[in-house]
């Protein structure tokens, strides 16, 4: 029994110590693409009031921080996405620069630049309707930590660093 436990310990230690240097360049590119998709989907799901899809990019116990505000877990994160039709506010997240560092086979960090434009519609926006833009609402850096789960890569922590803003 003791030998089995020691064996399991060393096998776990070996696999958990896989570093980014031991990941092939092809694996690294696939991981980075999957993580970049999380960042892109974050904005898309927020802009389109897609709460269930929005939650799918977060780990179950994930944390999001924006200044002195903090949300932890899916129940709290859900409150960040308005119900469809509950707001006339229209946003468009434009994701830009991304820098992703792979820590090991199941952990990574990343920084993503986002510019968020905003405006107010008189009602539900039609496909071809042009809305008067209030301007750039926010330019931010999303400072992220990622975790590989059985469902793929997920955001486990996000700190929203507001660099420029036209509103509070």
The stretch 16-23 carries a mean pLDDT of: 61
pLDDT at 19 (0 to 100): 57
pLDDT at 168 (0 to 100): 53
Beta bridge partners of residue 164, listed in sequence order:
139
Kindly report the backbone phi and psi dihedral angles of residue 141, in degrees, each rounded to the nearest multiple of 5, phi listed first. -110, 125
Q: Hey, what are 135's tokens?
A: 């301007």
For the cut 80, the answer to whether the pLDDT of residue 154 exceeds it is: yes
Query: For 63-112, what is each residue's pLDDT tens digit?
Result: 999 999 999 999 999 999 988 878 888 899 999 999 999 999 999 999 99
For the cut 60, the answer to whether the pLDDT of residue 3 exceeds it is: no
Among the ranges given (106-110, 130-134, 153-157), the one the predictor scored with the smallest mean pLDDT: 130-134
Query: For 83-93, what is each residue's pLDDT tens digit?
Result: 887 888 889 99
Q: State the Cα–Cα distance between residues 37 and 159, nearest whole angstrom.
A: 18
Q: How confident is the model at residue 57 (pLDDT cuts 50, 70, 90)?
A: very high
Q: How confident is the model at residue 123 (pLDDT cuts 50, 70, 90)?
A: confident
Q: State the Cα–Cα distance between residues 141 and 161, nearest whole angstrom.
A: 5
């Amino acid at each position: 029994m003791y030998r089995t436990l020691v064996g399991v310990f060393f096998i776990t230690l070996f696999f958990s110590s896989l570093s980014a240097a031991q990941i092939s360049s092809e694996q690294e590119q696939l991981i980075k693409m999957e993580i970049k998709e999380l960042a892109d989907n974050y904005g898309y799901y927020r802009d389109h009031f897609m709460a269930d899809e929005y939650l799918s990019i977060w780990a179950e116990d994930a944390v999001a921080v924006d200044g002195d505000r903090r949300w932890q877990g899916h129940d709290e994160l859900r409150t960040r996405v308005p119900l469809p039709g509950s707001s006339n506010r229209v946003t468009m997240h434009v994701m830009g620069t991304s820098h992703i560092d792979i820590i090991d086979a199941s952990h990574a960090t990343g920084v993503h630049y986002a510019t968020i434009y905003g405006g107010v519609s008189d009602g539900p926006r039609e496909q071809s309707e042009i809305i008067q833009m209030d301007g750039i609402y926010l330019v931010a850096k999303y400072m992220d930590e990622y975790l590989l789960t059985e469902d793929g890569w997920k955001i486990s922590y996000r700190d929203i660093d507001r660099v420029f803003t036209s509103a509070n």
